[in-house]
Amino acid sequence: MRTRLAGRLFMKRKILLAILVLAVVSQIPFAFRRYRLRRLKNTIQQYASQRVVKFDATEYVDYKGVIHVHSFLGGHSTGSFSELIAAAKANQLDFVIMTEHPQAEFDTSAMTLNGSHAGVLFINGNEVATANGDRLLLIPGSSNAATMNTQSTQQIIDQQKATGGLAFDAYPSESTNWQSTNVDGVEVYNLFTNARSINRVVTFFDGLWSYGAYPDLMFGNFFARPTENITRWDQTIAGSNRKLVAIAGNDAHSNVGVSLNDSSGNQLIGIKLDPYERSFRTVRTHVLIKQGKPLTRESLIEALSLGHCYVSFDLFGDASGFYFGVKQSDRTTGDDVAFSSQPRFAVLTPLPGRAVLLQNGIAVDQKSGTSMEFSPDGVGAYRVEVYLDGLPSPATGKPWIISNPIYVR
């Protein structure tokens, strides 16, 4: 009797001990992932200390901002205007392009942030779903946005163009219809889509270990090059011999994350991956405007329409000062150049990086430094992706900058 009881107790202790050991062992990967983020943070700081910007090297001024932002007006976001303005200011953004979901009862583009607020230029856009299953970002928005779901993608684009506005395809991998329209460009990266790919269990434990110290850098754990979108973009340009401008979409709602609540709904642990301030720091679209020309609603829309812009993951390093252009000319991304003029490309980066030159989406050359030159060896759409090879995992091999193409005809 006694020995049986003792034996049972012994078994219970053994099981408890095994559970305890398992619990501790299961946390080792997350402790290691926290260590990786600390190492990444240190490397980002080292890179920042090597910053060189040759502001007079080009005829353009670099303005940084974010595109594809929602507020409480569109429904599934709770973000307020004051949070938005504070987040833009904290990031020293030059512009924010709002893309509100339409509402049947009121015009969300007329009601959202527009014009200059606290020194930041806002444009009042919309995001609409079309009858063909595409989703368009309208810059600026339209008072007819709420009824656009009954119209074709091309009809909506035509209306935008008739009023001097732009239409970009959002989520380009979800539909193929946009490829046969004359849309101005595509959102090659969407932060919301990327953030939604997280594994909630992993993110929960990552959060316990890393959220307190490295909330911004948790992005590094899930960030992936948007290869599918980029391939669609490259192939559409190559296949139709036309221009398509790439932008990044923050798709900021301030509502992605993991939380643990008690039975009465009080939040015990909350890990928010996309508050506006963090979203605006992570990925940005920079536009280039000619020196002497101020940043205005009109000059910003014009620069985007021309493709005078690039996408950068500024969390790894502020890319302001990046330039990809044709030497001895003012031609930059989005512009044409004749192959017969024997053009040479110049690439300037504010941090020492590795620039990969791609021709119609295929890597054809690469060089390292802060000032590189390339010679195209045929016609095609040439663009560069810049990598910071010194970044440790989880950022290893992920792009820092994705430029728009220069079109060699």
Binding site for Zn ion (CB under 5 A): 127, 251
CB of 87 to Zn ion, least distance (A): 16
Tell me the C-alpha distance between 402 and 310, whole Å.
6
CB of 272 to Zn ion, least distance (A): 17
DSSP state of 269: E
- The helix (H) or strand (E) run that includes residue 64 is strand 60-69
Question: Taken in order 369, 372, 378, 383, is the CA torsion positive or negative?
Answer: positive
Strand 380-387 with 406-408, pairing: antiparallel
Query: By C-beta, is 127 or 274 nearer to Zn ion?
Result: 127
CB contact burial 140-174 (16+ within 10 A = b; e otherwise): bbbebbbebeebebbebbebbeeeebbbbbbbbbe
Tell me the C-alpha distance between 13 and 282, whole Å.
48
- The helix (H) or strand (E) run that includes residue 270 is strand 267-272
CB of 181 to Zn ion, least distance (A): 19
Evaluate whether 106 touches 121 at the Cβ level (below 8 Å): no
CB of 327 to Zn ion, least distance (A): 39
CB of 251 to Zn ion, least distance (A): 4
Tell me the C-alpha distance between 235 and 242, whole Å.
11
Query: By C-beta, is 127 or 318 nearer to Zn ion?
Result: 127
Query: By C-beta, is 256 or 289 nearer to Zn ion?
Result: 256
Q: Contacts from 299-302 at CB under 8 Å and sequence distance 24+?
A: 300/63, 300/65, 300/95, 300/121, 300/123, 301/123, 301/139, 301/140, 301/164, 301/165, 301/166
Evaluate whether 384 touches 406 at the Cβ level (below 8 Å): no
What SS3 class is residue 349? strand
CB of 307 to Zn ion, least distance (A): 22
Evaluate whether 305 touches 275 at the Cβ level (below 8 Å): no
Q: How many CB atoms lie within 10 A of CB 100?
A: 28
CB of 197 to Zn ion, least distance (A): 16
CB of 157 to Zn ion, least distance (A): 18
Query: By C-beta, is 193 or 371 nearer to Zn ion?
Result: 193
Q: Cis link prior to 394 (omega < 30° from 0)?
A: yes
CB of 138 to Zn ion, least distance (A): 12
CB of 15 to Zn ion, least distance (A): 49
Query: By C-beta, is 107 or 127 nearer to Zn ion?
Result: 127
Give me the residue whose beta carbon is nearest to Zn ion: 251
Say if residue 205 is exposed, middle or buried (CB neighbours under 10 Å; 0-12, 13-18, 19+): middle
Query: By C-beta, is 192 or 219 nearer to Zn ion?
Result: 192
Q: How many CB atoms lie within 10 A of CB 214?
A: 20
Phi-psi region of 92 (alpha: psi -120 to 50; beta: other; left: phi over 0): left
Query: By C-beta, is 174 or 377 nearer to Zn ion?
Result: 174
Query: By C-beta, is 37 or 138 nearer to Zn ion?
Result: 138
Query: By C-beta, is 75 or 115 nearer to Zn ion?
Result: 75
Tell me the C-alpha distance between 392 and 389, whole Å.
8
Query: By C-beta, is 95 or 324 nearer to Zn ion?
Result: 95
Query: By C-beta, is 80 or 240 nearer to Zn ion?
Result: 80
Q: What tokens does 172 get?
A: 């380009």
CB of 173 to Zn ion, least distance (A): 15
Please, which residues bridge with residue 385 across strands? 356, 402
